[in-house]
A and B are shown apart, each in its own frame.
Chain A
Amino acid sequence: MIANKLQLIGQQALNSVSGFGRAGLMLFGAIVGKPNIRKGLPLLIKQLYVIGVLSLMIILVSGLFIGMVLALQGYTVLVKFGAEGMLGPLVSLSLLRELGPVVTALLFAGRAGSALTAEIGLMKATEQLSGMEMMAVDPLRRIIAPRFWAGVIAMPLLALIFNAVGILGGHLVGVEWLGVDAGSYWSAMQANVDLYQDVLNGVIKSMVFALIVIWIALHKGFDAIPTSEGISRATTQTVVTASLAVLGFDFVLTALMFGG
């Protein structure tokens, strides 16, 4: 009984380790080697559109609302201390350091990650990947690589857009509605936000999250069991695993960057 349980745990550990290995090999095969600009660039641009531009809407709307909520919640606390002039730094630092990168990554996993997993899983199920291989075209280079780079490029940009729209949303609620002085909103922000400490660290976080989310999404699709059930499970796993990984890495990165 106990031996069986132990065996099961061992088996699962082995499976996850070999999963890591396959994921590593996939990424290695996709991005290591001489890039072919003539063929690669149009593919990359198309994926930037599909992965990045089409995710803009959800990022814009979420960013706006999160900035508005931050300002509203922050104001009710700050005004008790007569410190509503610090609303600008509150909103901008929360967004730049944490909410921008993290929420963008979570939304990105749901919007683009799940779509990527399903797309690649279906390509596998309909033998398109095998067919490509038999036509002497490497699917890792043709399918995986452009999607990987598009995700890694698009997500930090999306996070920056999310931050900008969030700060505007904070302005909308804090200044236009609740009557915080516009001058103090912006000048306190300017005085308290540091380009390297806050903006750049947020961008670095976002790049790490991009790598994690897109890697998980591509690997889950590429490794999916090519049946309808297998693809549905892979898509769910992408969103769950990527979200948890983002939150976990966020703690580690925050500890490294701001932990003292």
Chain B
Amino acid sequence: MSDVLVDIQNLSFSRGDRPIYRDMNMQVIRGKVTAIMGPSGIGKTTLLRLIGGQLKPDSGKIVFDGLNIPTLSRAELYQARKKMSMLFQSGALFTEMSVFDNVAFPLREHTRLPEALIRLVVLMKLESVGLRGARDLMPAELSGGMARRAALARAIALDPELIMYDEPFAGQDPISMGVIVRLIRELNNALGLTSVVVSHDVTEVMSIADYVYVVADKTVIGQGTPEQLRADPSPLVQQFLKGEADGAVPFHYKAAAYEDELMELTK
């Protein structure tokens, strides 16, 4: 069994005429927490959808557990997806089902376990995210942080090999942020998962990741362990890590010269 669970080779992808990635390479090591950071709007979520096979790249390979995702047939892709799961930014809980039924959903769809056993598994998964007591609530009754934890319980219901987190820290208060940081690390170690975290929250990511990729400008601009990254000489990486407003990434969106535009008004 290879050490690399997800191997992205020379990936190129574009939306319409707009290129998103060009010749990108990236590897996710089994059992580790790999983080992908970068400014918003550069297609980090797109990358997760590419790994999940919801989008097809223009060229390049995305190898998951020995299978090249873009070339799989529909049935093979659905088989591969049973071994991965994704935590969406919104949680994507099914609004017409209770928390319990949400977590039971993948089990009921993919296994023929008796209801008593499903109950046991669901309670275990909910216990691990601290929501066993909230099992009868509807998603609308949960706070944002709780919804994300419930979605996390659902994501680990089938014991996947890979779990992908899409902006798990976005819009969370400091306490639920801390809870989620702890959960990602603990679940990764306790369940032997491999985690991919897509985020732009530098502090949180640097505190849990084993390996970090910084993506900008359609490709990987920096990578390494958090320590290596802090010592990275690239100005773009440094600007991103320190959160400076202006630098290699300009503060201003591309525009005509300021003076010219102002003068036009007075004409």
Chain A interfacial positions (CB closer than 8 Å to B): 39, 126-128, 130-131, 133-138, 142
Contacts and interface: CB of A to CB of B under 8 A. Distances in A.
15 contacts: A126-B90, A127-B90, A127-B92, A128-B93, A130-B54, A133-B54, A133-B81, A135-B81, A135-B109, A135-B154, A136-B78, A136-B81, A136-B106, A136-B110, A137-B105
B85 A135 contact: yes
Interface in B68-84: 78-79, 81-82, 84
Nearest to A29: B74
A128 B151 CA distance: 11
A39 B108 CA distance: 9
Given A131-B88, A136-B79, A126 B54 contact: no
Interface in B86-125: 86, 88-90, 92-95, 105-106, 109-110
Interface in B229-251: none
Given A135-B85, A138-B78, A130 B92 contact: yes
B57 interface: no
Contact of B92 (A126, A137, A138): A126
A233 B108 CA distance: 35
Contacts of B94: 128
A135 B88 contact: no
Nearest to A126: B90
Interface string B152-190: 001000100000000000000000000000000000000
Interface of B: 49, 52, 54, 78-79, 81-82, 84-86, 88-90, 92-95, 105-106, 109-110, 154, 158
A128 B92 contact: yes
A136 B80 CA distance: 8
A142 to B, nearest CB: 8
A233 to B, nearest CB: 21
A39 B78 CA distance: 18
A137 B154 CA distance: 14
Given A126-B90, A127-B90, A134 B54 contact: yes
Given A39-B109, A134-B52, 7 more contacts: A127-B92, A128-B92, A130-B54, A133-B54, A135-B154, A136-B79, A136-B82
Closest 3 CB pairs of A and B: A131-B92, A136-B81, A127-B92
A127 B88 CA distance: 7
A134 B81 contact: yes
Contact of A131 (B79, B84, B86, B158): B86
Contacts of A135: 81, 85, 105-106, 109, 154, 158
Nearest to B83: A136
Most buried by A among B79, B109, B154: B109
A166 B97 CA distance: 39
A205 B262 CA distance: 64
A128 B95 contact: yes
A127 B89 CA distance: 9
A130 B90 CA distance: 11
Contacts of B54: 130, 133-134
B84 A134 contact: yes
Contacts of A39: 109
A130 B49 CA distance: 9
Contacts of B86: 131, 134
Nearest to A135: B106
A133 B78 CA distance: 8
A134 B85 contact: yes
